[in-house]
Structure 1
Amino acid sequence: MRLRHLRDVRRGENQVCPHQEQPGFTHDGSFAERVAVRYARTNLVALPDEVSFDVAATLGCRYATAWRAVHRRARVRAGERVAVYGCGGLGLAAVLIAARAGAEVTAVDRSPDALRLARTLGATHTSDGADAAPNDAHVSLECSGHPALVDAAVRALRRRGRHVQIGLLPGGAHVAMDAVIAKELDVLGSHGLAAHEYPALLADLPHGEVAAMIGGHVDLDGAQHALAHLGERAGVVLVHP
């Protein structure tokens, strides 16, 4: 079993290795003044001088995760129609990356502020409910982890479309397998981004647009309040130690 885990890592597939350790999940995360980085030789990424700490803080489980989902899993092509469900930090990043790939992007969210920000990041259409989302998308990207949106996102695809599930779901979530079979849909999962892929991401990072995703700043003392009110403001809230 351990040899198989090592083969996953040697193939560069760290993000799907069965034996994973993730800050904030398996051990303490980054709400601290200092953080211990385990397996640093594998997991640390050199930050280019032109990338600010604030922009770097938006990458992690937002821009980097969306980058892999759009480019490596969905393989979005110019001219395709992409529907992004859920426009928190992850969804907004997906909107930006898909738009930069030349796609026609529809952003779906209940928050007017989130939809306005999605427009500035490249969404050509917005919807405040899944029922009004396009029903002929080539690609759907579900970024909220809401079970009802998963079903809607799959059903909204055109024939032989691709659904990528990025948002974390509770166990037992329903997937519209009748539509998957009848329309020959591809249903794909996407989980983070391995550290060795960061140089490709950083080489084409749109600094200004990524900075526009930042919706606020708090210190460590304000982190708990910010978490409790996450849905009340658009964009990413940065916590400064």
Structure 2
Amino acid sequence: MRAVVFQGPEEPMTVEDVDRPECDDDGIVVETEACGVCRSDWHAWKGDWDWLGLMMTPGLIFGHEPCGTVVEVGEEVESIREGDRVTAPFNMSDGTCRHCMSGRANICERSVPMGFLDFQPGAYAEEFPVRVADQNAITVPDGLDPVDIAGLGCRFATAFHGVAHRVDVEPGDTVAVHGCGGVGLSAIMTANALGGRVIAVDLDDRSLEMAEQVGAEETINATEVKDVPQTVKSFTPSSRGVEVSVDALGITETCRNSVNSLCKGGQHLQIGMTTADEGGEVPLPVDMMVQDEREFYGSYGMPPHEYDEIFSMMESGAIDPGQIVNETISLDEVPEKVASMDEFDTVGIPVCNEF
């Protein structure tokens, strides 16, 4: 089968013929219909995240925002059948650890990130495997477009889990989102669906225009203001600050701006992962956070049981992840699309749907 193969940090990825995945007794093999092209793949391609213990080795097949049709089922699998259309969380779990048992499978103690380890190849390929399928394979309701499901991917899922379940967004709350790439736009759409009044911050007017289309009431071009947090606060009652602020990029400036945009008792949500410039660490105004009891939350993927909530909101029209998909591309275009994220000028979410 054809697949995009990683050749080493910042080396051009290549499309090659490789062996099709084997089906484990507790797993499935899926024919890929769509896969989102994510900034996390760019981070991996750049060689980031060694501080997390992730060392990308040549030969890996990236791609962790999949949708496709099941073509092979292991003999121990009970809930999935050939012909089912499925997706899967990028951080696959085993279903048995204490976090899985308490509903937090996204932080499974034995989590396996899809597409970042050689024994769990990703979906930039004609077929991809899903391990522990009864736990990780999510059946997609009839009528939902595979491209839209790929748009859910890690970006929308992580943003949805964070905004809907990690922090407390109540109707009428003000929510700032710093960074309006795919995950930031997903956070905006989710916060808006929950009744939040969203203030979007970015450097690119095109991204801010899309932010308005998916629910932002106010937008701020950070290149045009002297003080981003104070500008955010100017849109809140008595300039007190926002109840929830999201860093959807992961650089020092956006993280600090997000924390400093909060009102007393406000909640910061970290979705964006850092680059090599930060190396996983960002200095924060700790004393102010203590004095104002500002809270810091992280969001990493989404547990499998929350997919039903997203599907229900998609079917009702409350959210539309497909609105954030800005283009569809072929497998042959994936290497260049990932490399082009160096420029930080991607608007929305690209999805590969030609294999």
Question: Structure 1-normalised TM-score?
Answer: 0.93
Coordinate RMSD, CA, aligned: 1.8
- Cα deviation digits, residues 73-123 of structure 1 (max 9, x gap): 112010000000111111001001101111110111111111100001110
Runs of 5+ unmatched residues, structure 1: none
**Could you tell which deviates more after superposition, 184-193 or 27-36?**
27-36
- Larger of the two Rg values belongs to structure: 2
Is 1:223 aligned to 2:223, yes or no? no
Report the residue type matching 2:322 in the other structure. A
Query: 1:25: how far off?
Result: 2.5
**Could you tell which deviates more after superposition, 93-102 or 20-29?**
20-29
Is 1:140 aligned to 2:233, yes or no? no
- Tell me which residue corresponds to 2:349: 236
Report the residue type matching 2:268 in the other structure. H
Per residue, is there more helix in 1 or in 2? 1
Match of 1:8 among 99, 104, 122: 99
Report the residue type matching 1:192 in the other structure. G
- Tell me which residue corresponds to 2:207: 114
Question: Structure 2-normalised TM-score?
Answer: 0.64
Is 1:182 aligned to 2:291, yes or no? yes
Equivalent residue pairs, number: 238
Equivalent runs, 1:43-122 vs 2, <5 Å: 43-122=136-215
Distance change (3 Å), C-alpha of 1:127 and 1:19: same
- Cα deviation digits, residues 147-206 of structure 1 (max 9, x gap): 221111101101110001111133222222122112110111111101122111211123
Equivalent runs, 1:15-34 vs 2, <5 Å: 15-26=106-117, 27-34=120-127
For 1:229 and 1:45, how far apart are their aligned partners in 2? 31
Of all paired residues, the percent bearing the same amino acid is 30
Report the residue type matching 1:234 in the other structure. V
Equivalent runs, 1:161-172 vs 2, <5 Å: 161-169=266-274, 170-172=279-281
Report the residue type matching 2:339 in the other structure. A
Is 1:193 aligned to 2:302, yes or no? yes
Per residue, is there more strand in 1 or in 2? 2
Query: 1:207: how far off?
Result: 7.8
Report the residue type matching 1:114 in the other structure. S
Runs of 5+ unmatched residues, structure 2: 1-95, 234-240
Is 1:126 aligned to 2:209, yes or no? no
For 2:318 and 2:138, how far apart are their aligned partners in 1? 17
**Could you tell which deviates more after superposition, 227-236 or 94-103?**
227-236
- Tell me which residue corresponds to 1:210: 321
